[in-house]
Homo-oligomer: A and B are copies of this chain.
């Protein structure tokens, strides 16, 4: 499982539309489809119900969405903090090894 796969999953879940989700991530549809397929295969789970042209969250996918969002938010927050804390503690690097 990668952060990229989670991002794709959340985007598709929100848009309920693979093409739009892919566009919102500046990705080709095939890449988004592959990411979802890989995520599903890795866990042996079906995240979406493909009924006709309609692609909607399955029960499992619905249960997973909040967790995926939480992980992504945590990662983004950590990344931002890492950049932000940079300048603050840059001159504080006195170490006693």
Q: Which residues of chain A have a CB within 8 Å of any CB of chain B?
A: 1-3, 43-46, 49, 51-52, 54, 56, 58-60, 63-64, 67-68, 70-71, 74-75, 77-79, 81-83, 85-86, 89-90, 92-93, 95, 97
Contacts and interface: CB of A to CB of B under 8 A. Distances in A.
B75 A45 contact: no
Number of copies: 2
Contact of A59 (B68, B83, B89): B89
A75 B39 CA distance: 13
Contact of A60 (B54, B60, B85): B85
Contact of A97 (B43, B44, B54, B71): B54
A1 B3 contact: yes
